[in-house]
């Protein structure tokens, strides 16, 4: 294999591990102990709640603003697709590596997303054309091709791009596999058909609610154990809310009465509750108000607070709505609108006490809100460094307090926090030979070794974890993290300068602290 192919293999391997870590679902909750006040048994609370916070409110809520706007380059994707068509000398192994890399690529930019989809289609079609050696390779190629065409069709539908070929191409792709003997290919083909037929019904303007309910219900009946199908149905309803809100509400109401029994029942209940939350958020125009939070100044912030307060009075508040409201609280906190942040956290606790939050989320919700209030109370206090890091090296309090500390709370299940750490690691040369140390505090029960290998190459980054390094307690005791990556800035003498720092500005703020010290 060529050196270029080896490098592609390395990159795709990282992408696959990242994608795997992102599979942890926010629905997977764990019970936690919630103490009544302050620092009483605080460490015990932290160890119980950190994983829950990552899983429940962790990384996708509104308010966890993108720290690193790292997009997959559209031109790069286009060149790869053209190269694949022009150079058929690549081995199947190299094409599979390329497909894995493209399958892991993500972008919030529409042009980039379209390029990624088309490149995935080109590569998967080429693998299928060659006649893949083995069922695993066939499954991978067909599945990636179907998913890419579904994504392309969905982008066309939601953004009204007018890509006339996307519908017929999707249908031509899934029809040969509707009776396939491979269960994964079969289920993906059915989901592709569901996407095509449901969206075509909407595009035709017929608003056939009964027909769509039957289509969705039949799909759920065929796959009673398949959470992927449940997630796709949720995605369909979410897209319909943006496209046809009144129609989607009728569809949601009827489908809610038809969801299946058995294993998939609780899954679909959670998915449909997300849709209910989304409808409430849309009715309050929450997303637009959040987008305009800076432009509208104090009035905009006041309106956002009032909107959050109204939402917290609704019955049966679910995960999505809590993510948005708690994300808003953290945004207030991070930008030093402390009164507004406190009000949000207090109202969340009150809503939980009144039974407005669904039962399975009550304790975790209360814990997260209390953690926000505790963080605010710790601003300006002093941290005591103690214990050892993951390499067994002692944290010496007197020595650490002679330096500035940038503390990054991260998780292998949070792709954004892993990406932020990787980029921070690449930028450490600007901080070298300065009294600044970076602490990477992993909140997972187990340290993701494949990720930390990258960080160990930078001597400025000291890795902390809950299994091998008791030093992690120094940081968890003073700062239960919010949405990841959560960054804390500790100044000289261990003073907490910013307990919820802006990750994009923390390096500049650290250097400013240093300059002020040297004056």
**Which CATH number goes with the domain that contains 477?**
3.40.30.10
Q: Report yes or no: 267 and 229 within 8 Å, Cβ to Cβ.
A: no
pLDDT tens digits for range 11-51:
333 333 333 333 322 332 222 222 333 333 333 333 343 33
Beta bridge partners of 407: 439, 488
When pLDDT is averaged across residues 442-468 and rounded to a whole number, the result is 73
Distance between CA atoms of 354 and 313, rounded to whole angstroms?
9
Residue recorded with tokens 């694949």: 84
Who's near 428: CB < 8 A, 6+ residues apart? 438, 458, 460, 461
Residue recorded with tokens 């809950």: 466
Find the domain containing 499 and state its range: 397-518
pLDDT of residue 424: 86
- The answer to whether residues 366 and 426 belong to one domain is no
Q: What is the mean pLDDT of the chain?
A: 77
The closest of 200, 115, 198 to 164, measured between CA atoms, is: 200
pLDDT of residue 440: 92
- The answer to whether residues 402 and 501 belong to one domain is yes
Residue 34 lies in a domain: no
Winning range, highest mean pLDDT, from 36-50, 121-135, 197-211, 293-307: 293-307
- The answer to whether residues 514 and 417 belong to one domain is yes
pTM over 0.85: no
When pLDDT is averaged across residues 73-77 and rounded to a whole number, the result is 55
Domains held by the chain: number: 2
pLDDT of residue 21: 33
Which residue among 343, 378, 413 closes a domain? Answer: 378
Residue 46 lies in a domain: no
Residue 368 lies in a domain: yes
Higher-confidence residue of 64 and 388: namely 388
pLDDT of residue 482: 85
For 165-188, the three-class secondary structure string (H helix, E strand, C coil) is CHHHHHHHHHHHHCCCCCHHHHHH
- The answer to whether residues 353 and 417 belong to one domain is no
Window from 59-73, 190-204, 273-287, 457-471 with minimum mean pLDDT = 59-73
pLDDT of residue 298: 87
Confidence of residue 243 (pLDDT cuts 50, 70, 90): low
Q: Report yes or no: 13 and 104 within 8 Å, Cβ to Cβ.
A: no
- The answer to whether residues 346 and 418 belong to one domain is no
Query: Residue 67: is its pLDDT beyond 60?
Result: no
Which residue among 378, 405, 438 closes a domain? Answer: 378
- The answer to whether residues 293 and 334 belong to one domain is yes
pLDDT of residue 159: 74
Confidence of residue 342 (pLDDT cuts 50, 70, 90): very high
- The answer to whether residues 334 and 413 belong to one domain is no
Report strand pairing: 404-410 vs 436-442.
parallel
Winning range, highest mean pLDDT, from 15-29, 345-359, 430-444: 345-359
- The answer to whether residues 512 and 457 belong to one domain is yes
pLDDT of residue 165: 80
Residue 303 lies in a domain: yes
Residue 310 lies in a domain: yes
- The answer to whether residues 368 and 412 belong to one domain is no
Q: Report yes or no: 248 and 282 within 8 Å, Cβ to Cβ.
A: no
The closest of 305, 324, 330, 325 to 500, measured between CA atoms, is: 330
pLDDT of residue 379: 93
Residue recorded with tokens 């796959």: 223
Helix (H) or strand (E) holding 441: strand 436-442
pLDDT of residue 68: 34
When pLDDT is averaged across residues 395-413 and rounded to a whole number, the result is 92
Confidence of residue 490 (pLDDT cuts 50, 70, 90): very high
Confidence of residue 465 (pLDDT cuts 50, 70, 90): confident
When pLDDT is averaged across residues 227-247 and rounded to a whole number, the result is 70
When pLDDT is averaged across residues 304-311 and rounded to a whole number, the result is 95
Window from 9-13, 102-106, 131-135, 452-456 with minimum mean pLDDT = 9-13
Higher-confidence residue of 425 and 468: namely 425
pLDDT of residue 34: 28
Q: Report yes or no: 137 and 53 within 8 Å, Cβ to Cβ.
A: no
Which residue among 310, 345, 378 closes a domain? Answer: 378
Residue 340 lies in a domain: yes
pLDDT of residue 154: 81
pLDDT of residue 87: 53
| Phi, psi of 290, rounded to the nearest 5 degrees | -70, -40
Residue 373 lies in a domain: yes
Residue 229 lies in a domain: no
Higher-confidence residue of 1 and 457: namely 457
Winning range, highest mean pLDDT, from 64-73, 206-215, 319-328: 319-328
pLDDT tens digits for range 207-228:
566 777 777 778 877 877 777 7
Would you state the structure tokens that stand for residue 466, as one six-digit string?
Answer: 């809950």
- The answer to whether residues 357 and 409 belong to one domain is no
Would you state the structure tokens that stand for residue 478, as one six-digit string?
Answer: 């003073």
Confidence of residue 495 (pLDDT cuts 50, 70, 90): very high
Q: Report yes or no: 57 and 368 within 8 Å, Cβ to Cβ.
A: yes
Higher-confidence residue of 57 and 127: namely 127
Query: Residue 313: is its pLDDT beyond 90?
Result: yes
- The answer to whether residues 353 and 444 belong to one domain is no
- The answer to whether residues 503 and 470 belong to one domain is yes
Report strand pairing: 461-464 vs 486-490.
unpaired
Winning range, highest mean pLDDT, from 40-49, 148-157, 243-252, 457-466: 148-157
pLDDT of residue 79: 61
Query: Residue 403: is its pLDDT beyond 90?
Result: yes
The closest of 175, 191, 202 to 226, measured between CA atoms, is: 191
């Amino acid at each position: 294999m060529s050196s270029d192919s080896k490098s592609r293999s390395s990159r795709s391997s990282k992408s696959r591990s990242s994608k795997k870590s992102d599979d942890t679902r926010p629905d997977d909750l764990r019970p936690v102990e919630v103490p009544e006040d302050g620092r009483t048994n605080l460490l015990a609370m932290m160890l119980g709640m950190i994983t829950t916070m990552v899983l429940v409110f962790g990384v996708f809520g509104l308010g966890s603003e993108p720290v690193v706007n790292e997009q997959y380059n559209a031109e790069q994707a286009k060149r790869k697709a053209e190269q694949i068509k022009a150079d058929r000398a690549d081995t199947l192994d190299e094409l599979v590596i390329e497909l894995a890399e493209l399958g892991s690529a993500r972008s919030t930019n529409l042009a980039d997303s379209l390029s990624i989809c088309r490149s995935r289609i080109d590569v998967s079609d080429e693998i299928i054309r060659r006649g893949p050696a083995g069922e695993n390779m066939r499954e991978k190629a067909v599945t990636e091709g179907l998913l890419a065409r579904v994504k392309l069709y969905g982008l066309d539908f939601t953004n009204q791009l007018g890509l006339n070929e996307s519908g017929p191409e999707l249908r031509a792709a899934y029809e040969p596999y509707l009776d396939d003997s491979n269960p994964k290919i079969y289920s993906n083909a059915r989901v592709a058909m569901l996407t095509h037929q449901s969206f075509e019904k909407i595009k035709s303007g017929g608003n056939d609610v009964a027909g769509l309910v039957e289509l969705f219900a039949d799909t759920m009946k065929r796959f009673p154990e398949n959470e992927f199908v449940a997630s796709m149905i949720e995605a369909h309803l979410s897209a319909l809310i943006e496209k046809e809100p009144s129609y989607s509400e009728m569809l949601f109401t009827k489908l809610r009465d038809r969801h299946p029994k058995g294993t998939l029942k609780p899954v679909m209940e959670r998915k449909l509750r997300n849709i209910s939350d989304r409808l409430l958020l849309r009715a309050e125009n929450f997303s637009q108000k959040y987008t305009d939070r800076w432009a509208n100044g104090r009035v905009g912030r006041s309106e956002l607070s009032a909107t959050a307060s109204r939402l917290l009075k609704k019955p049966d508040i679910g995960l999505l709505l809590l993510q948005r409201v708690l994300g808003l609280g953290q945004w207030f906190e991070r930008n030093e609108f402390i009164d507004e942040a406190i009000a949000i956290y207090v109202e969340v606790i009150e809503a939980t006490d009144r039974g407005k939050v669904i039962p399975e989320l009550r304790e975790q919700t209360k814990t997260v809100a209390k953690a926000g209030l505790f963080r605010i109370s710790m601003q300006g206090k002093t941290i005591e460094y103690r214990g050892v890091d993951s390499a067994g090296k002692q944290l010496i309090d007197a020595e650490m307090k002679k330096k500035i500390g940038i503390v990054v709370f991260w998780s292998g299940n949070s792709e954004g926090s892993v990406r932020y750490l990787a980029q921070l690691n690449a930028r450490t040369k600007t901080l070298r030979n300065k009294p600044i140390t970076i602490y990477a505090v992993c909140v997972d029960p187990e340290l993701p070794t494949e990720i930390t290998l990258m960080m160990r190459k930078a001597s400025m980054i000291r890795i902390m974890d809950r299994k091998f390094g008791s030093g992690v307690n120094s940081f968890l005791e003073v700062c239960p993290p919010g949405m990841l990556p959560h960054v804390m800035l500790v100044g000289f003498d261990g003073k907490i300068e910013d307990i919820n720092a802006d990750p994009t500005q923390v390096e500049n703020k650290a250097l400013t602290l240093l300059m002020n010290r040297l004056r």
